Amino acid sequence: MARVLGTLIPLFSLVMLILARGSEAGGISIYWGQNGNEGTLAETCATGNYEYVNIAFLYTFGNGRTPRIDLSGHCDAYSNGCTNISAGIKSCQAKGIKVMLSIGGGAGSYSLASSEDARQVATYLWNNFLGGQSSTRPLGDAVLDGIDFDIEGGTNQHWDDLASDIPATKIFLGLPASPQAAGSGFISVDDLTAKILPVIKGSTKYGGVMLWSKYYDDQTGYSSSIKSNV
């Protein structure tokens, strides 16, 4: 787990690798894809609350594994049924919202065996989700804006090798959007806006706040409460 300024241990990855550089101001990033009751991708972006959406997750990859994506309740990737997500991605991007692929997760099977393995995974990500070419792009022909590393398991080896091929790093503070979203780590709106954001916003790599997840944010309205302060 990464520690931010010695004040808390966030539950989620703090690093997003963004291909297209946007505004230097902070924004809210939301995880989408793990609950069928959270609305569509286009509906998520239509709220106006988010500057980034992380599609979660590519949960199997590396060390000879066949890469697999899971968007629980939204589409069946096993039958190539997630290519229609492309329309939602483009809808978000047309609004100026960057759409990322989140790799890893808490229940995945992933690791990197070597620098060469990291290179192969990077090539797969580029060709199947970013600016490359492949006949088997799981999310259709839309070109995503970058990769979010939500590495919660496996070893810590060779992730720097994987990240080195994708430039423009921003740092986000990862938080649950409600007490029910995680076993610990929830921070009240008052504490976040008064005690934490004023400190971390001083970093030149500050990107904003990353919330788990769209479903829980719908229940609490957390993003709406913090948006003007991020």
List active site positions: 152
In the three-class reduction of DSSP (H, G, I as helix; E, B as strand; rest coil), residue 104 is classed as strand
Residue 39 CA neighbour count, 13 Å, CB half = 16
Report the alpha-carbon distance of residue 196 to residue 172 in Å, rounded: 12
Cα–Cα separations (whole angstroms), residue 132 to 65, 107, 142, 199: 21, 28, 11, 38
Closest C-alpha among 5, 10, 27 to residue 18: 27
Token look-up 């939500």 returns 150
Report the alpha-carbon distance of residue 175 to residue 185 in Å, rounded: 7
Sorted by sequence, the CB contacts under 8 Å of residue 160 that are 6+ apart come out as: none
> How many other β-carbons are positioned within 10 Å of the β-carbon of residue 62?
22
CB-based contact 189:222 (threshold 8 Å): yes
